[in-house]
């Protein structure tokens, strides 16, 4: 599923929600890299601090715009770069089966 961004998308209230999938363990030992373990595949995935923030945000279903706005509030980043990086991260999480889009 392509979760591409565009200006009109963020201006609309939509039912597209992101949420982590069950069957995953998330480990945070206070270091710079957080780890997700897929219990199904046994594969580990690493998240940097921004990725871990996104992961925390989607523990409850959130729209893409809610996630983007929260990241923009927490980090000093240009909106365009935030959208590009967020799109890439979320696309990878979806492709790896770690996140559901409903």
Q: pLDDT digits over 82-97, tens only?
A: 989 998 998 888 888 8
pLDDT at position 24: 61
**pLDDT tens across 7-17, in order?**
333 333 333 44
Q: What angle do CA 52, 76, 6 make, to 5 degrees?
A: 80
The verdict on pTM exceeding 0.85 is no
- pLDDT at residue number 76: 95
Residues 16-75 have pLDDT tens digits of 444 555 566 666 666 667 777 777 788 888 888 899 899 888 888 888 889 999 999 999
Higher pLDDT, 94 or 2: 94
For helices 64-74 and 79-95, give the axis angle rounded to 10 degrees: 130
More confident residue, 98 or 71: 71
CA distance 44 to 33: 12
């Amino acid at each position: 599923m392509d979760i591409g961004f565009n200006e009109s998308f963020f201006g609309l209230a939509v039912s597209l929600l992101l949420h982590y999938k069950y069957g995953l363990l998330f480990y945070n030992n206070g270091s710079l890299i957080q780890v997700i373990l897929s219990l199904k595949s046994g594969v580990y995935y690493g998240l940097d601090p921004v990725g871990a923030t996104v992961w925390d945000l989607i523990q409850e279903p959130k729209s893409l715009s809610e996630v983007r706005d929260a990241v923009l509030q927490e980090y000093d980043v240009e909106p365009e770069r935030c959208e590009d990086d967020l799109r890439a991260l979320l696309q990878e999480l979806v492709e790896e089966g770690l996140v559901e889009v409903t």
